[in-house]
Structure 1
Amino acid sequence: MYVEFQQLPAHARVWVYQANRAFNEQELAFIQSYLKQAVQDWNAHGAPLASSFQIRYNQIIVIAVDEHQHAASGCSIDASTGWFKDLAFQMGIDFFDRSVALVQEDSLILFPLLGIKQVVAEGKITPESYMAIPQVKDLEDYNTNWPAKAKDSWLKKYFVTASV
């Protein structure tokens, strides 16, 4: 059951899917239509899930569900993952890319995960850089701490300076 994203409670469960590139206007319209229908029909063992989605930076899709009404089951979570596999197939976009996303104004700059230590060493990501982190606790965490400063994310380990 689709609800407006802003109508979901702070405790709503959240999933963040990052695409390997930004969507153009036509793709954005297609994704919005696709996901609105998918979320409208989303259920767990026949019980409708009060859920919604939001697209950020034309490249990140956030799915949220109010689990106090009905909890998302393993099968329903698998179904939502299937949406992104289907969109990937139809559009040639990878929603399971493991790149690290630096927020630059209204867009993202992606860096390969395996080279992130070097990117930090080169100063391309600083402790104050905003990062589109893929893990958030709930909608309240998403609304208050996302995107996160690199120093407040899992990247903080790369900013530790040795003292003598």
Structure 2
Amino acid sequence: MNISLEKILPADFSNRSRVWIYQSSRLLSMQEALTLEQLFADFVQNWKSHGTPVKGYANLIFGQFIVIMADESQAEVSGCSTDYSVHFIKQIEKQFNIQLFDRQMLAFFIKEKVELLPLSQIEYAIEKGFISEETIYFNNLVYTKQELLENWMIPAGKSWLGKRYFKTETSHS
């Protein structure tokens, strides 16, 4: 995968901009992606926090991840504006018949494409060599634009999976 997020994300957004990533249960088609473009434009145009427009961004990345970003340097995102974005994502789930809130499905970049794997199958996948410490893992819990740029796509061994599943043995003298 040779894609630079810097070219996709808006340069005029603060690196401290809040980020939400929603992982789709399947790859979306080109037609669905085109439909989403208009939905994203409408969402961003109407996104407000206590009546003040939110400087927002929404995009589909790799055909499988919806990234929503709010630059809070102009208006902080309130509970109501967060609820509005969650409601928007739930509408997308219904319209496209996908799941966007399943945190038990983990995403990896394997053989030049995004692969989803249930958390319950991680140990098996490691044991069989499908996933290694170097396999790229999508860390959807990043919180800011800076974290998205630096820590979204990371080797599995450098994520929380490293501590839990890739325990390296240390020699004892």
When normalised by structure 2's length, the TM-score is 0.86
Task: Give the match for residue 160 of structure 1.
Answer: 167
| 2:75 paired with 1:70 | yes
Task: Give the match for residue 28 of structure 2.
Answer: 23
For residues 3-26 of structure 1, give each alpha carbon's deviation from its aligned partner in whole angstroms, at most 9, with x where no partner exists. Answer: x73321111011111000001011
| 2:122 paired with 1:116 | yes
Deviating 4+ runs (over 4 angstroms): none
For residues 28-47 of structure 1, give each alpha carbon's deviation from its aligned partner in whole angstroms, at most 9, with x where no partner exists. Answer: 01111101110111011111
Task: Give the match for residue 10 of structure 1.
Answer: 15
| 2:48 paired with 1:57 | no
1:132 alignment partner, one of 138, 161, 167: 138
2:113 alignment partner, one of 88, 107, 115: 107
When normalised by structure 1's length, the TM-score is 0.91
Relative to structure 1, the CA distance from residue 54 to residue 105 in structure 2 (aligned partners, 3 Å threshold; closer, same or farther) is farther
Looking at structure 1, the residues matched to 121 and 147 of structure 2 have their Cα atoms a distance apart, in angstroms, of 28
Looking at structure 2, the residues matched to 77 and 56 of structure 1 have their Cα atoms a distance apart, in angstroms, of 21
Task: Give the match for residue 4 of structure 2.
Answer: none
Instruction: Kindly tell me the number of residue pairs found equivalent between the two proteins.
Output: 161
For residues 29-76 of structure 1, give each alpha carbon's deviation from its aligned partner in whole angstroms, at most 9, with x where no partner exists. Answer: 111110111011101111110010232110001111111211111111
Q: Unaligned regions of 5+ residues in structure 1, if any?
A: none
Give the aligned CA root-mean-square deviation in angstroms. Answer: 1.6
Q: Shift of residue 78 of structure 1?
A: 1.1
2:39 partner SS: helix
Q: Shift of residue 124 of structure 1?
A: 1.2
1:7 partner SS: coil
- Tell me the amino acid that sits aligned with residue 159 of structure 1: F
Q: Shift of residue 106 of structure 1?
A: 5.3
